[in-house]
Structure 1
Amino acid sequence: MNLIEILRSIFINIKGNKSKVFLTTLGIIVGSLTIVLVLAIGQGSQASVEEQFTSLNVGTIQIMSGFGRPGPGMVKLSMEEVEAIKEEAPSIDKVAIMINGRADVNYYNLSNSTTVGGVTEDLMEINNLKLEYGDFISAENNEYADRVAVLGVDIAELFFEEDISEAIGSRITISGKRYEIIGVLKRLGDSQMRGITPDESVFVPYSVAQRYIVGNNTNPNIIALAKDINNVSTGIEEMENILYDTFKDKSEQFMIVDAGSRLESAKASARVMTLMLFSVAIVVLIVGGIGIMNVLFVSVKERTREIGIMKAIGARKKDILLMFLFEAIIISAVGGILGIASSTLAMPIMNYFEVRVVPTSFGYLLAFGFSVVTGTFFGYYPASKAASLNPIDALNYE
């Protein structure tokens, strides 16, 4: 038998058993669909993690104060530690201190309870904040305790609607005191700044926030930027030494983390979740492959006399093997293609429910490849059994 005759026989058999073949293919369809979606969800998760960390430079290091309100035995960071890091940590390029709390912010008859962050001038560069209009908090603003404010874009749009440029020079009231708006930030989106979302916040000088808004009931955090990624480890050691020299054993109340390690940790968690879901997809494909094997076994039983006739008129063992093996491969390949096509319909639905998916060519190829391999693996044994039938026994089979 030549290849055309083998394929013709396969398609005649498939056409005569449409329902059975379709039900068999369902397992492959679901398996390949699951593989594509799992990899797309995993890719989407990693992309989301990376976007969340774009607000921080990779060389960013944070010193986070002890959690909770200050009490007996609890120590806090201050501007003294900022100055010490500037002077005694050569691996650190820039350093800022931040304190935040909630306050009522008013503009004429509009009012909003939002997060107010007291910051120093270097925070803008360390956290990659960009200005839409105006200027950021300066060293002079902190030195002279100027009552000035920089608005996040959401707050600016709330108060000034479409033309947020009008914010510059206007005055708002925070906790009963008047502040001049000197800047409006560009939209940032998600941020890893602890306890504050820049788009929804108002920034004022650190000294002003400490005096008029937050007081002494919140723990400040220090954020530093290493000179380059290779200086992060050294910078952490230098800051640990400064904290120990200042607070001795109480320095253990502080936690030092760098953005790079947190990014890798978050991405590793996303990869583990993707691997777990991928394992589920493989199980589904295996179940689909078992279904193909069962159908081929039934097909061998039903076509035993036909196999005997083909062997009697000259069909070789190789021809019978290829006929059943190709049938398994075609069924699984079609299932893989239909699964991939189904994924393109499922992705918009997942996006609608705010599940981020990022499809990749690798995901499509992997789904199709696994489908074909599954069909080949589970189809070979029934095909081998069919090819091994004795012609005389096959002709006499009832």
Structure 2
Amino acid sequence: MSLIEILRAVFMNIQGNKTKVFLTTLGIIVGALTIVVVISIGNGSQASVEEQFKSLNVGTLQIMANFGARSTERLTSELAEKIRVEAPSIKNISMILASRGDVSYSTTSASASIGGVAEDLKTINNLELAYGEFITAEQNEDAERVAVIGSDIAQELFGDEIRDAIGARITIFGRRYEVTGILKRMGDSSMGGISPDSAVFVPYKVAEKYIVGRFARPSIIALAKDINHVESAIEEINLVLQEVYRNRSDQFRIVDAGNRLQSAKNSARTMTLMLLAVAVVVLVVGGIGIMNVLFVSVKERTKEIGILKAIGARKKDILLMFLLEAIIISAVGGVLGILGSILAMPVMNYFQVRAIPTTFAYLLAFGFSVGIGTFFGYYPASRAAALKPIDALNYE
């Protein structure tokens, strides 16, 4: 039999069993659609994570007291300077004091994180200003009562016209501070327990004097020279901590911003793989459906197989006929599933589920569909090809 004759027989059989074929294809359609949707949502989740952390330098390290630590030891500016000098893998270093309180302007107030910072923090944490300027070294040295506010706080206190906040005076713990800068929205870039969007930054000396007091526990923010120096920077910082605090150095911990980002991406990736496994199970179920249909088809067409063999059809012709039928059914199901996933994207966007489809997702869905159809279609096809002409012709 020629390939054209085999294909003609395949399409005639499919056309004669439209309902059965469609129901069989449903499993493949759902499986392919699920694969594309799951991978797209996974891509969207990872992109969201990267955007949330994009304001963080991946080489940022945060040194802070362990949760629940009872030690009276605290990080100091002298320690920060010692790390700067003795840790060659460190590019920049700064300190931050964290607190919370109400910030008010006119008759409006908002709860905010309050951070006492130095001018270096802007570079270390990639802080970008929408308006105004960041805290300067002179303002810190002179303990000037100035403030840089996050985008959310600016919105709460000043409404849509946040530009008007520059030069305004806000009140923190009963004292007035002049707003000199407004940060751009940064997303999830927590530093020292402070999220910039909902924070107010004041000079470090001002926070130490008026807001948190001299006995507060500050954190140290350090920036490695590059991502390749992160591990050596951690080792060098640990050596300095051990030198200064000796057996009390375990009262402090070092948090790697790059690891935070990687952990968040790994979590999103793990969830994607779990959902992808569900999609593969759906496809396998669809493949089993194809196998069952082909088994029924072989029984129904046993005499036809016998006649074809009697007039000269070879074993491989019969095998190819049934195998092509399985491949075509699964391929059509894969294509329909991909088209369905494309239609599903606007629906997910409507429900604010971020999904980023890729060519890889489409190819994977189609490849899995055809692969499943081929795998589960081979056995019934081989059974059909193995039938003896005399037995097939005598089958009732």
Q: CA deviation at 1:89?
A: 2.2
- TM-score (ref. length: structure 2): 0.94
- Equivalences for 1:216-295 in 2 at 5 Å? 218-295=216-293
- CA distance, structure 2, for counterparts of residue 39 and residue 218 of structure 1: 46
| Counterpart for residue 319 of structure 1 | 317
- Equivalences for 1:36-47 in 2 at 5 Å? 36-47=36-47
* Cα-to-partner distance string for 1:130-187 (whole Å, 9 max, x where unaligned): 1111111122222221110001122223333333222211111111110001111112
| Counterpart for residue 343 of structure 2 | 345
* Cα-to-partner distance string for 1:196-217 (whole Å, 9 max, x where unaligned): 2212211111221222223367
Checking the alignment, whether the CA contact within 8 Å between 2:53 and 2:187 is kept in structure 1 is no
- CA distance, structure 1, for counterparts of residue 377 and residue 72 of structure 2: 69
Q: Structure 1: which amino acid aligns with 2:11?
A: F
- TM-score (ref. length: structure 1): 0.93
- CA distance, structure 2, for counterparts of residue 338 and residue 177 of structure 1: 65
Deviates more, 1:314-323 or 1:247-256: 314-323
Q: CA deviation at 1:262?
A: 3.0
Deviates more, 1:288-297 or 1:25-34: 25-34
Deviates more, 1:174-183 or 1:318-327: 318-327
- CA distance, structure 2, for counterparts of residue 298 and residue 280 of structure 1: 28
- CA distance, structure 1, for counterparts of residue 329 and residue 228 of structure 2: 54
- CA distance, structure 1, for counterparts of residue 302 and residue 143 of structure 2: 94
Checking the alignment, whether the CA contact within 8 Å between 2:44 and 2:356 is kept in structure 1 is yes
1:74 to 1:338, Cα distance in 2 relative to 1, 3 A: farther
- CA distance, structure 2, for counterparts of residue 186 and residue 364 of structure 1: 37
Checking the alignment, whether the CA contact within 8 Å between 1:55 and 1:192 is kept in structure 2 is no
- CA distance, structure 2, for counterparts of residue 301 and residue 380 of structure 1: 15
| Counterpart for residue 29 of structure 1 | 29
* Cα-to-partner distance string for 1:4-34 (whole Å, 9 max, x where unaligned): 2222222221122222111211111122122
Checking the alignment, whether the CA contact within 8 Å between 1:153 and 1:200 is kept in structure 2 is yes
Q: CA deviation at 1:228?
A: 2.5
1:249 to 1:353, Cα distance in 2 relative to 1, 3 A: farther
| Counterpart for residue 120 of structure 1 | 118
Q: CA deviation at 1:194?
A: 4.1
- CA distance, structure 2, for counterparts of residue 123 and residue 7 of structure 1: 70
* Secondary structure at 1:55 match in 2: coil
Identity %: 67
- Equivalences for 1:156-175 in 2 at 5 Å? 156-175=154-173
- Equivalences for 1:174-185 in 2 at 5 Å? 174-185=172-183
Q: Structure 2: which amino acid aligns with 1:133?
A: Y
| Counterpart for residue 55 of structure 2 | 55
Q: CA deviation at 1:375?
A: 0.6
Checking the alignment, whether the CA contact within 8 Å between 1:103 and 1:213 is kept in structure 2 is no
- CA distance, structure 1, for counterparts of residue 30 and residue 196 of structure 2: 43
- CA distance, structure 2, for counterparts of residue 160 and residue 112 of structure 1: 11
- CA distance, structure 1, for counterparts of residue 35 and residue 199 of structure 2: 41
* Secondary structure at 1:12 match in 2: helix
Q: CA deviation at 1:381?
A: 1.2
Structure 1: runs of 5 or more not aligned: none
Checking the alignment, whether the CA contact within 8 Å between 2:62 and 2:191 is kept in structure 1 is no
* Cα-to-partner distance string for 1:76-124 (whole Å, 9 max, x where unaligned): 2122222222232232121111122221111111111111111111111
* Cα-to-partner distance string for 1:332-352 (whole Å, 9 max, x where unaligned): 001111111121233333334
Q: Are 1:64 and 2:53 matched, yes or no? A: no
- Equivalences for 1:184-203 in 2 at 5 Å? 184-203=182-201
The aligned length equals: 396
Q: Are 1:330 and 2:328 matched, yes or no? A: yes
- CA distance, structure 2, for counterparts of residue 15 and residue 220 of structure 1: 75
Checking the alignment, whether the CA contact within 8 Å between 2:287 and 2:376 is kept in structure 1 is yes
Superposition RMSD in Å: 1.9
* Secondary structure at 1:184 match in 2: strand
- CA distance, structure 2, for counterparts of residue 155 and residue 271 of structure 1: 33
Checking the alignment, whether the CA contact within 8 Å between 1:119 and 1:205 is kept in structure 2 is yes
- CA distance, structure 2, for counterparts of residue 122 and residue 53 of structure 1: 19
Q: Structure 1: which amino acid aligns with 2:80?
A: V
Checking the alignment, whether the CA contact within 8 Å between 2:62 and 2:192 is kept in structure 1 is no
Checking the alignment, whether the CA contact within 8 Å between 1:52 and 1:192 is kept in structure 2 is no
| Counterpart for residue 96 of structure 1 | 94
- CA distance, structure 2, for counterparts of residue 302 and residue 230 of structure 1: 67
